[in-house]
Amino acid sequence: MLWCIIENSLDRHSFLGNGLSTEDTMGKMVIQILAAVAEAEREHILERTNDGRLVAMVAGVKFGRKPHQKSAMIREFISQSATVKLIIEKTGISRATYFRIKNSPAI
């Protein structure tokens, strides 16, 4: 791993502890090669991640947050015209959660 403790003085950068410096052409070349390798690795990571997601989708894995456990009960209370205060007291949810469930489409 390249520890980048950068020492700036004018347009010269020195990577302390590794003997790399942007003062000469060899140092610049090594840094550019390391940057290219890092960029290629990042692209490979993205490809593998996307491939894994596609495999999971085909296998039927559901993505995203799980539905709130009390959503059905809260929707039942709402259909019975219960007050917000009563629903919050009975279910133990916050006011924000109540309105989030109320305003979200039923699943």
The single-letter code of the amino acid at 23 is E
Question: Domain check: are 49 and 77 in the same one?
Answer: no
Question: Domain check: are 75 and 36 in the same one?
Answer: no
Strand 6-9 to 12-15 pairing: antiparallel
Q: Which domain holds residue 14?
A: 6-58
Does the structure show a pLDDT above 70 at 38? yes
Does the structure show a pLDDT above 60 at 1? no
Does the structure show a pLDDT above 50 at 54? yes
Question: Domain check: are 28 and 54 in the same one?
Answer: yes
- In whole angstroms, give the CA distance from residue 14 to residue 6: 6
- In whole angstroms, give the CA distance from residue 82 to residue 30: 69
Does the structure show a pLDDT above 50 at 2? no
Question: Domain check: are 51 and 29 in the same one?
Answer: yes
Does the structure show a pLDDT above 70 at 39? yes
Question: Domain check: are 10 and 52 in the same one?
Answer: yes
Does the structure show a pLDDT above 50 at 4? no
Q: Indicate the range of 40-44, 57-61, 95-99, 101-105 predicted with least confidence.
A: 101-105
**Domain count for the chain:** 2
Question: Domain check: are 12 and 41 in the same one?
Answer: yes
The contacts of residue 53 (CB under 8 Å, 6+ apart) are 63
pTM assigned to the model: 0.49
Q: What is residue 3's predicted lDDT score, i.e. its pLDDT?
A: 39
